[in-house]
Chains A and B, each alone.
Chain A
C-alpha cells in the first residue's frame, strides 16, 4: 500500500512542477491562471488521495482521514469561486491579453 501512496505523491509532484514552470513562462495573467489551476486540482487531489490511503491503511488514524476529506471537499468547492472572482476582477481592472490573441468576444459585447 505504501508504494501506491508514493506513486500518487510523485504524480502530484509532477503536475505541481508543470504548473510552476507554466506560471513562470506564460505571457499574460489569464494564461498564468490556467497553470495555477493545474497546481490546485491535480497537485492537491493527488496529495489528498495519498494522505487518505496512508492515514487509513498505514497509520490507522481516522481523525486525520476525516480532516483530509474535509480539506479535499473544501478545495474542490472553493477553488472555482476564487478563480472566477479574480479573472473577472483582473479583466475589469484593465489587464490585457497578449497582442496576437485569437478572439475577444467579451470586449466586443461590452462595447455594444
Chain B
C-alpha cells in the first residue's frame, strides 16, 4: 500500500470540510451571519483525521491541480450550460421512444475508443455518458495503450468503433479534456 503525500491529504481534508459544512447545515448559519465556532473547529479536526486515513484511496495523481480557478470556472460552465443541454436532448429522445406505440428500439453493445489519459477525465466522461439516458457504460478495457469503453446503446446507428464513439461522446469528450488535462 503506497503512502499518501502531504498535498493529497490537504486536498482530501478541504473536500471533507466542504461536505461537513453542507451536511451539518452550518452553511445556512454562515449565510445568516451567525456561525458557531465550535462546530467549525470540530469539523476541521474531523476532516484532517479522516483525510489522514482515506487520502490514499481517494487521490491517485496530481492532487492540487483541481484547485485552479480556471478549471473550476470551466467545470461550472459545463455543469450549468453544456451538460443539461445534452441531458435534455437524450431524455426527450428516450421518452419519445418509450411513449410511441411501435417501441422503435434497436439495442446493442458497442465498443468505443477514448482518447483521454487522466483517470479523473475518464471517470467524468464515463459518469456523464451513464447519466445520459440511452447509454450505459458496462466495462472498461485497456488494449495496446488505448482505452476502450463498452457501451450499451438503446438505438445502434452504426457498429463501427469510430462512428459510434463520435455519436455517443459528442461534445462531452472535448469538455472533459478542457477541464481535466
Contact = CB atoms under 8 A, between A and B. Distances in A.
B108 A42 contact: no
Contacts of A19: 95, 98
A84 interface: yes
Given A22-B98, A42-B91, A103-B108, A88 B139 contact: yes
Interface stretch (B22-30, B47-55, B57-65): B22-30
Interface string B105-137: 111111100000000000000110011111111
A62 B32 contact: yes
A42 B134 CA distance: 13
Nearest to B103: A25
Interface string B139-180: 101000000001010101001000000000000000000000
A111 interface: no
Interface residues of A, number: 48
B107 A30 contact: yes
Contacts of B110: 103, 105
A58 B40 CA distance: 29
A70 B23 contact: yes
Contacts of B98: 18-19, 21-22, 25-26, 35, 38
Interface of B: 22-23, 25, 27-28, 31-32, 87-88, 91, 94-95, 97-99, 103, 105-111, 126-127, 130-139, 141, 150, 152, 154, 156, 159
28 contacts: A15-B91, A15-B95, A18-B94, A19-B95, A22-B95, A22-B98, A26-B98, A27-B105, A30-B107, A34-B154, A37-B132, A37-B136, A41-B132, A62-B31, A66-B25, A70-B23, A77-B127, A80-B130, A81-B127, A83-B136, A84-B136, A87-B152, A88-B138, A88-B139, A101-B107, A101-B109, A103-B159, A106-B138
